[in-house]
């Protein structure tokens, strides 16, 4: 068989050098027919294995007969009906190849969304590394970007979050919805672990997701696995961020990333959208007017951890330790945190406030807590060193008389 290199050289000699076929055959050491075939071919030669029959070919008529009557019959049922005793994978592939022929045609259509009807949500993982302090750098898989696109106006919202944990996801999600000014009637996700999954055509939501959507009064829909077209708006938005926002940018911190992102989104939402024929900013007011109004009290989101404060007066949140005023040692405290702030409450008052750090395995200490702990230790030590008066047992004189056998009742 003629190699690709020889094929290319034959064509070069004929087209560029103008050599006749006979000379090319002599130079390349091949026959003239080989040269002619190389000049006639539209593409380079490639090896093609001879087609061989499949074990499924013998039962294909039976498969077609069943599919003509029941186009949606599962491959496992077909295998049982035809008495298939070989690998189910081979049969399943042939059934998948034949089934579209017998399914009813899918009519051509255009997907449109009404005002306030739907918003699609997803995570975007930009190929970047962001410094998070303490000499640490975190990658895209550790610092995802939550994105949301409204179906009617194509209004794009996004923010960088510390993790994919439910506490951070719902906190950021609520911020995006509150910034939108209303909740779309249907919120679309794919199988995100903190939100839910799709099983047998039914959306199975987590308890946190049920509480979140219940507070908003919205429907939460989980897409079928392997169906990216179901949320094509947000998928295209992620690609838009990848090609239009990210190139040429350098980020000094997560806060710097979000600052640059919000500035870019303010401009992106005013740009002309080809499908809409206008900018998202021109339709967002009508979109908001048709959305579900925001609840008077927002959903409970963020981190909430209850515990009894140990003697070392530190609490742990998302892999980091935060100091608490030692006056709360031994008492029940509640750790409340969002994307930016960590607070500790004890008996209705705040006993610690820290900026949340996005690094891992760090200890955050308030100097006033250290000073208070030192003062409490000094007071305790001083109290232990105060001399106490010796306690001497006072005995009755009658006890001594009894010990020496003296009877004081006898009168001399």
Q: Tens digit of pLDDT for each residue in 272-318?
A: 988 888 999 999 999 999 999 998 888 889 999 999 999 889 999 99
Which pLDDT band holds residue 107 (cuts at 50, 70, 90)?
low
Is the predicted pLDDT of residue 412 greater than 70, yes or no?
no
Retrieve residue 178's tokens: 């509150």
**288 three-state secondary structure:** helix
Is the predicted pLDDT of residue 33 greater than 80, yes or no?
yes
Residue 354 dihedral angles phi and psi, to the nearest 5°: -135, 150
**d(C-alpha 249, C-alpha 264), whole Å:** 11
CA distances from 223 to 149, 196, 213, 227, 400 (A): 15, 10, 16, 7, 96
In DSSP terms, 363 is beta-bridged to 321
Is the predicted pLDDT of residue 6 greater than 80, yes or no?
yes
Is the predicted pLDDT of residue 99 greater than 60, yes or no?
yes
Please choose, from the candidates 150, 186, 187, 112, the residue with its C-alpha nearest in 3D space to the C-alpha of residue 283. Answer: 150
Q: Is 169 left (phi over 0), alpha (psi -120 to 50) or beta?
A: alpha
In 140-214, where do the E strands start and end?
Answer: 145-150, 156-160, 186-189, 196-199, 202-205
In the block, residue with structure tokens 């970047």: 128
Is the predicted pLDDT of residue 109 greater than 60, yes or no?
no
Contacts of 35 (CB under 8 A, 6+ apart): 10, 14, 21, 24, 25, 28
Of 364 and 40, the structure prediction assigns the larger pLDDT to 364
Cα atoms in the 13 Å half-sphere on the side-chain side of 89: 0
Is the predicted pLDDT of residue 105 greater than 90, yes or no?
no
Which pLDDT band holds residue 258 (cuts at 50, 70, 90)?
very high
**Residue 70 neighbours by CB distance under 10 Å:** 12
In the block, residue with structure tokens 């003062």: 375
**d(C-alpha 183, C-alpha 40), whole Å:** 64
Cα atoms in the 13 Å half-sphere on the side-chain side of 310: 7
**d(C-alpha 310, C-alpha 324), whole Å:** 10
Mean of pLDDT values over 323-339: 93
Mean of pLDDT values over 395-408: 72
Q: Say what the pLDDT of residue 378 is.
A: 83
Residue ranges of the alpha helices (H) in 70-191?
75-82, 88-102, 166-180
In DSSP terms, 186 is beta-bridged to 118, 219
Is the predicted pLDDT of residue 410 greater than 60, yes or no?
no
Q: Say what the pLDDT of residue 354 is.
A: 95
Which pLDDT band holds residue 98 (cuts at 50, 70, 90)?
very high
Q: Say what the pLDDT of residue 46 is.
A: 74
- Sheet of 320-323: strand order equals 314-317, 320-323, 363-364
**213-242: pLDDT as tens digits:** 888 888 888 888 767 667 889 999 999 999
CATH 3.30.420.10 fits 118-290, yes or no: yes
**d(C-alpha 233, C-alpha 178), whole Å:** 20
Mean of pLDDT values over 253-270: 95
* Domain residue ranges of the chain, discontinuous segments joined by +: 4-40, 57-102, 118-290, 303-385
Percent of the chain with pLDDT over 70: 92
Of 378 and 120, the structure prediction assigns the larger pLDDT to 120
In DSSP terms, 374 is beta-bridged to none
H-run or E-run covering 129: strand 129-133
Percent of the chain with pLDDT over 90: 52
Is the predicted pLDDT of residue 389 greater than 80, yes or no?
no
**d(C-alpha 256, C-alpha 228), whole Å:** 31
Q: Say what the pLDDT of residue 392 is.
A: 61
**d(C-alpha 222, C-alpha 199), whole Å:** 9
**364-387: pLDDT as tens digits:** 999 999 999 899 888 878 777 766
**125-178: pLDDT as tens digits:** 998 899 999 889 988 788 899 999 999 999 999 999 999 999 999 999 999 999
Please choose, from the candidates 200, 232, 203, the residue with its C-alpha nearest in 3D space to the C-alpha of residue 220. Answer: 203
Asked if 339 contacts 143 with a C-beta cutoff of 8 angstroms, the reply is no
Asked if 179 contacts 157 with a C-beta cutoff of 8 angstroms, the reply is yes
Is the predicted pLDDT of residue 388 greater than 70, yes or no?
no
Does the pTM surpass 0.85? The reply is no
Is the predicted pLDDT of residue 262 greater than 90, yes or no?
yes
- Rounded to the nearest angstrom, the gap between the alpha carbon of residue 238 and the centroid of all alpha carbons in its chain is 13
**185-219: pLDDT as tens digits:** 999 998 888 998 888 778 888 888 899 888 888 88
- 63-68 long-range contacts (CB < 8 A, ≥24 apart) are 63/91, 63/94, 63/95, 63/98, 64/98, 64/102, 67/95, 67/98, 67/99, 67/101, 67/102, 68/102
Q: Say what the pLDDT of residue 106 is.
A: 62
Q: Say what the pLDDT of residue 351 is.
A: 93
**128 three-state secondary structure:** coil
**d(C-alpha 157, C-alpha 397), whole Å:** 93
Q: Say what the pLDDT of residue 408 is.
A: 63
Residue 105 dihedral angles phi and psi, to the nearest 5°: -65, 145
Longest C-alpha distance within the chain, in Å?
A: 164
Paired sense of beta strands 349-355 and 341-346, if any: antiparallel
In the block, residue with structure tokens 């009508």: 286
């Amino acid at each position: 068989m003629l190699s690709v290199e020889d094929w290319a050289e034959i064509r070069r000699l004929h087209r560029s050098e103008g050599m006749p076929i006979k000379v090319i055959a002599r130079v390349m050491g091949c026959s003239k027919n080989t040269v002619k075939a190389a000049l006639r071919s539209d593409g380079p030669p490639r090896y093609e294995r001879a087609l061989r029959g499949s074990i499924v070919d013998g039962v294909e008529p039976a498969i077609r007969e069943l599919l003509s009557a029941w186009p949606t019959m599962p491959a496992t049922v077909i295998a049982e009906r035809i008495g298939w005793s070989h690998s189910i994978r081979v049969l399943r592939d042939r059934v998948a190849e034949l089934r579209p022929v017998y399914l009813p045609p899918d009519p051509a259509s255009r997907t449109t969304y009404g005002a306030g009807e739907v918003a699609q949500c997803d995570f975007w993982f930009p190929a970047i590394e962001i410094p998070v302090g303490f000499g640490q750098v975190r990658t895209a898989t550790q610092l995802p970007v939550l994105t949301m696109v409204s179906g009617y106006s194509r209004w794009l919202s996004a923010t960088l979050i510390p993790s994919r944990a439910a506490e951070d996801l719902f906190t950021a999600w609520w911020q995006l919805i509150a910034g939108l000014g209303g909740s779309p009637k249907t919120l679309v996700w794919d199988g995100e672990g903190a939100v839910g999954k799709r099983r047998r055509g039914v959306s199975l939501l987590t308890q946190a997701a049920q509480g979140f959507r219940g507070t908003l009064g919205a429907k939460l829909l989980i897409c079928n696995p392997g169906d990216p077209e179901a949320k094509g708006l947000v998928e295209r938005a992620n690609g838009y961020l990848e090609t239009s926002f990210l190139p040429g940018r350098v980020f000094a911190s997560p806060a710097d990333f979000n600052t640059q992102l919000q500035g870019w989104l303010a401009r992106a939402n005013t740009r002309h959208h080809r499908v809409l024929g206008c900018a998202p900013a021109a339709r967002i007011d009508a979109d908001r007017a048709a959305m579900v109004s925001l609840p008077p009290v927002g959903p409970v989101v963020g981190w909430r951890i209850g515990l009894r404060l140990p003697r070392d007066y530190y609490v742990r949140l998302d892999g980091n330790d935060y100091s608490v005023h030692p006056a709360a040692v031994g008492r029940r405290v509640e750790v409340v945190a969002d994307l930016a702030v960590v607070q500790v409450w004890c008996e209705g008052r705040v006993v610690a406030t820290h900026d949340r750090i996005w690094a891992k395995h760090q200890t955050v200490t308030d100097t006033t807590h250290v000073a208070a702990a030192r003062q409490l230790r000094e007071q305790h030590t001083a109290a232990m060193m105060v001399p106490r008066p010796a306690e001497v047992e006072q005995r009755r004189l009658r006890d001594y008389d009894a010990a020496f056998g003296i009877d004081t009742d006898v009168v001399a």
